[in-house]
Structures are given as structure tokens and as C-alpha cells.
Copies of this chain bind each other. A is one copy, B any other.
Amino acid sequence: MSTIDSMSINALRVLSADAVQKANSGHPGLPLGAAAMAYELWAKHMNHNPKNPKWPNRDRFILSGGHGSALLYSLLHLFGYGDLSVEDLSQFRQLDSLTPGHPEYGHTVGVEATTGPLGAGMAMAVGMAMAEAHLAAKFNKDNFPVVDHYTYVLGGDGCMMEGISSEAFSLAGTLALNKLIVLYDSNKISIEGDTDIAFTEDVRMRFEAYGFQTLVVEDGNNPEEIGAAIEAAKADKTKPSLIVVKTKIGFGCPAKEGKASAHGEPLGAENITALKENLGWPSMEPFYVPEEVYANYRAIAEQNAKVEEAWNAMFKKYCETYPEMKELWEKQHNLDIAKDLINNEDFWAYEDKADATRNLSGMVINRIKDLVPGFIGGSADLAPSTKTYMKNEGDFSRENYEGRNLHFGVRELAMAGIGNGLALHGGLRPYVSTFFVFSDYVKPMARLSSLMGVPVTYVLTHDSIGVGEDGPTHEPIEQLAMLRAMPNFTVFRPADATETIAGWYYAITTKTTPTALVLTRQNLSQLTGSSKDALKGGYVIEDSMKEVPDAIILASGSEVELSIQAKAELFKEGIDVRVVSMPSLELFDAQPKEYKERVLPNSVRARVAVEAAIDYGWGKYVGLDGAYVTMKSFGASAPANQLFKKFGFTVENVVATVKSVL
């Protein structure tokens, strides 16, 4: 390799090692081992323009092994992304710096996804590749490949061990996502030691089984070999590619190379010196990079800017030639329908008959698909049950990337990761779906949705013991608490059609918050008191005649109707209560204090929460003087109406519980 390439690679190593050392915290092992492949990819193969990190047709790069963030920051600095400075690198892992411990989307320019939980980046990359395939199928015209980019993802042994990557790559193979290129940093070292203690599988054969092209780079420090593999990966037009790159963790640092100790702690001052000497680095000064190295990176960046210029020219002509496509493009990339939709009577219409909120959600999905062209989604093999199928929109498959209905297979976790990838790519508004109880599987990736602030919608049906015969393994009890407790995540559990539509309205118009719609399997009546006030998260759905009610019943979803029935019964006995529907605790909490006081006056301490879930979390609204009609245990297997009775969700019990707090 040329001297300048060699020095440019070593610059990544040195900067990364210095950043970790200065922070006295971090992971030097991956940056040292993977520097050559990162440089080769970013410098010689990837289409990207540091001066416009949001160029829609850029190649995507995800560092799935997010602990190697120092490598990514070093790349971003050297290529001139967001003017990330040496000072920023020296503030690695410090409070409010641009260089946090793991890459954070929306925080550091050029970071395509928040990574750190291993394997997550793999699933997000599959989502991005699916987005590319879909948008290409939809938008490209002869001679106008306006969507035409690769998705690269780099991860190590840990990423390969995590189940999410198996799920995601099995689907990627099925879908023949040939523009997905996986760089496997294979160093055979994990935190507990040699990977042989837990991971002797033949990863390459596994990927062959998924339907990948597989390639091996024997020397992970040989850029030519890496480059040839990347070109071979690009050349395969029918399969995604895995490139096994054999590397040495901590490469270049004599005392650490090939050892588990290289992974997650600073090298130490002496080893930094030894590293620099060993690499022939011209200076021992921390964060020193020779000017010719900067010049090399700058030159590449400038060259890359021209690639975007050419695309811009093509896209301009495309927009002139296909004005209807230009309009569609705009709609998919910059849709703002909140104002229109709130007064769109067709959107808010429903039939006045009892129905399951999952069915009503299915109805709304089939309205949104016509209003939001970037709307795309599907289920983890449960669409007939979760009612998430968009009629006449086709199925996304290797034969039909234009289809809008996604089939994730029985892979909830990867589904959610892919949902994040679809959202991160741009141009799409994804939803994903499974049974509510399986939100347990979804949780790690839902957390990433929240952290990144990407508005993925989670359609979670079969929301309580209303599941019935399938029994406790399928009956969510604690899942409402699990999701409500998560920051920047909105849970919406509607009580009828109006509230279901409100939930979808919120989900499809919010810009920075993922939403879970928690829906029933069983039919619910339409409630006369329900309204768009549901968007406030909590509102008075049936009020008392008195100015100050005798008591307040708080309920959500299927328990609102029950509460209203109990109210009527109590009224007969001279007890005049207010019923507050609480479809979303998070949205209610975000209301002005005055509104909350109006709905739940502080002076009224006789409060009862009614929800077919664990009581955990309701204490904030119910207080020390209130009571609960909630689940105290897991559910059981029986017809749903018998279960509601068994677990106390009866008018009699709600009435008695209200009386107990008067």
C-alpha cells in the first residue's frame, strides 16, 4: 500500500488510542484492528460527502460494534464531518461533548444510528437496505437511478453472537438485499477471552445458509485485499455479501495485540508510546496528525463532493422530467400532515358498532396508506391477527421491492431494529407489529427508537387477559408498565374507535417519539363521551353532576367502558363519580398543570384505577388514599369473559372498590 494510505490508516489508530487514553475510558481494541478496513471503505469505495451528511443517496455506514466509537469519530474528524475537531476528540466521553462513549444519532454529525447494544446495528443496516430497495423500486426511472446506494455495516464477534443478527440476516438473505455489505471484524477475542469458549460456529457457512455471498479477507491490514472484497461484494447483484475480515484486536500495540485486555480499557501511556513507535508515527504528541494526512483525507472528501454534485444534476433533471415523482419524493421526505389530518372527517369516521381496536387500527392503517406515501410496515408473522395488512399495496419481496407490506417472519427483535433502520434511512414512515406480550422481545430496539427519537409505530394487539384461551404466556400483564416507564416513548391504549384514530393520528404526526398502540383482540363498544381530547392523554369521558365528584375512576382501553358502567351503577346508589379515560399517561403528563388539575383535582383523593394490567405505575395518579382494580398476577387460559370475571373486572367489583375509598 502507498505510504499515504498507510499513514492515513495509522492516523485512525493513533487518534483513537489517544482519545481513549485521554478519556481514561473506552475501547481501543476495535479501532486498532479495524482501521485498515474502515479507511479502505471510506476512502476508496463509499459514496459520501462530508459537507452534506444528509445527502439522500449517500452510502450508509453503521458501526454496529458501537464501542469502537473512537474509530468512527476519528474518521468523521479526518474527513471533516461537522467540523469535528481535535478538541472534540480530546473530549471523548466527557460531559456534553460531541464524542460520547457510543455513537449517538442526532448528536454527532455523520453518525447514522445509535449503536452499542451489540447486533442492533446489524438489524438497522438491514432496515436501511430494505428502505433503499423499496425507494429505488418506487422512484428510479430509466437512466435516473436516484436511489442507488449501498449500506455497509461493521461489527465483530459479539454482533454475530447476538440473536438479532441471525434474525436480521436470515431475512436479508430471503429478500436478496444485494446492496447490503457486512464487514465482519473477526478477531476471535471476546471480553471473557478467546471466542472459542463460546463461539466456535462457522460464521461463513451460516451466512451461506442465509443466502449471502461470503468473502474472506485473510489479512485485515491489507487494504488491497479488503478493497477487492468490497468490489466483489458490490459486483454481486443477487445476494447480500458478508466479508469476513480477519483482524487482530489492538493491532500495533505490542503488549495488547490479540488480547482481551485490548478491548475495553485504555492502552496506558507506555503502550501508547510503544504503539506510535511500532507504527513509525512521526510524533509522540497526543492527537498529532501530519498535515499530508489531513490533505489526503481532504482531497478524498473533495472528490466525493463531486459525486454528490453529479447526483444533484441528475436529480434536477429527474424532477423536471417527472414532476409527479418530484412531488411524491417531497411528500415522502418532508410530509407534514398534522394540520390537515386533525380536521379530515374521513380520517376520523367510524361505524357505530362494537369492534376490536385491532380491527379499527386496521381500518386506520388502510386510510393512512393513501395519505402518507412513505407509510410502510408489517408484522412478525401475525398480520392476519394484528390487522396490519395494507390492501392492494403488495408484499415486499425479492421479486417486488415496491410492495409496502413487510413480512418479518417470527423475529420480533430484528423487526424492531429494522423498523429503526427504515425510519433512519429517510423517506419512509414505518410501523411494526406483534402481539403486545411479545413487546418483551421488541423492547431493546424500542429503546433505541426512543434514544434516537425516530417515530416508529409499534402496533401491539391482544393487549390483556382479553387474549383468553392462549393463556398466561400470551397475556400481557406488566408490558404497559415496561413501555410507559421508558423515556421519550408514548404508549397509547385506546378505548374505542375515536381513541384508536387519535392514537394513530398521534403516531403518524409525531416527529421525534416512537409510539406504541396497544389494542384489543376483543370487541369494545363505541363510547359517547370519547373525543379528540384523547390526544391530551387523559380527559373526562363521563363527568359527575357535581362540581367536585365524589370519586374519580381512571381507566384505559377496554376498562373505560366497564368504568362507565360502574359509574351508572354508583349513581343509582347516590355516588356521583367522574370517569377519566387515560389512553396515554405520557401525553397526559405533558399537559399544562392547570389542565391536569382540572381533570384530576388535587382535592379529590377518592380515586380508583381500573386497568387489566399490573397496578405498577398508577400510584402517581391514585395516591395513598386510592385503590386499584388491576391484575395482581399473571393471567390464565380460558375464554376472555370468564377471565375478566375471575380477575375482578366486573361492575360489582369496581363499584365496591370505589365505595372502599369513599
CB within 8 Å of B: which residues of A?
A: 23, 25-26, 66-67, 93-97, 100-102, 104, 114-119, 157-159, 161-167, 170-171, 173-174, 190-192, 195-206, 208-211, 379, 381-385, 395, 397, 407-411, 413-414, 437-438, 440-441, 443-444, 447-448, 450-451, 468-474, 477-478, 481-482, 484-488, 602, 605, 614-625, 631-634, 636-639, 642-643, 646
Contact = CB atoms under 8 A, between A and B. Distances in A.
A142 B116 CA distance: 49
A252 to B, nearest CB: 23
Nearest to A624: B623
A549 to B, nearest CB: 16
Given A191-B385, A192-B379, A198-B174, A102 B619 contact: no
23 contacts: A93-B637, A95-B643, A100-B636, A100-B637, A101-B473, A102-B472, A102-B474, A158-B381, A161-B410, A174-B197, A191-B382, A192-B381, A200-B211, A205-B205, A206-B206, A440-B447, A443-B482, A447-B478, A450-B634, A477-B486, A478-B482, A485-B485, A617-B619
A114 B190 contact: no
A485 B170 contact: no
A327 B579 CA distance: 63
Top 7 A-B pairs, shortest CB-CB distance:
A163-B163, A619-B620, A619-B619, A198-B409, A116-B473, A100-B637, A166-B166
A97 B190 CA distance: 48
A469 B26 contact: yes
A198 B167 contact: no
Nearest to A26: B469
A66 B437 CA distance: 15
B101 A162 contact: no
Contacts of A487: 477-478, 614, 631-634
Nearest to A602: B624
A163 B25 CA distance: 32
Contact of A95 (B201, B407, B638): B638
Contact of A443 (B159, B440, B471): B440
A25 B617 contact: no
Given A469-B101, A633-B487, A163 B161 contact: no
A198 B471 contact: no
B25 A469 contact: yes
Nearest to A413: B163
A473 B616 contact: no
Contacts of A638: 93-97
A41 to B, nearest CB: 23
Given A95-B646, A102-B471, 18 more contacts: A25-B468, A93-B471, A101-B470, A101-B473, A102-B473, A102-B474, A102-B637, A104-B473, A170-B199, A171-B198, A191-B381, A191-B382, A191-B385, A195-B409, A201-B210, A206-B210, A447-B478, A619-B620
A411 B171 CA distance: 20
A117 B117 CA distance: 23
A265 to B, nearest CB: 10
Contact of A102 (B158, B383, B470): B470
Nearest to A642: B95
A195 B408 CA distance: 11
A164 B410 CA distance: 11
Given A482-B482, A485-B481, A617-B617, A116 B451 contact: no
A642 B23 CA distance: 14
Nearest to A604: B624
B473 A157 contact: no
Contacts of A622: 619-620
A438 B473 CA distance: 22
Contacts of A97: 637-638
Nearest to A117: B473
A485 B482 contact: yes
A469 B26 CA distance: 8
B410 A190 contact: yes
Contacts of A621: 619
A400 to B, nearest CB: 11
Q: Which of A201, A379, A385 has the most CB of B within 10 A?
A: A201
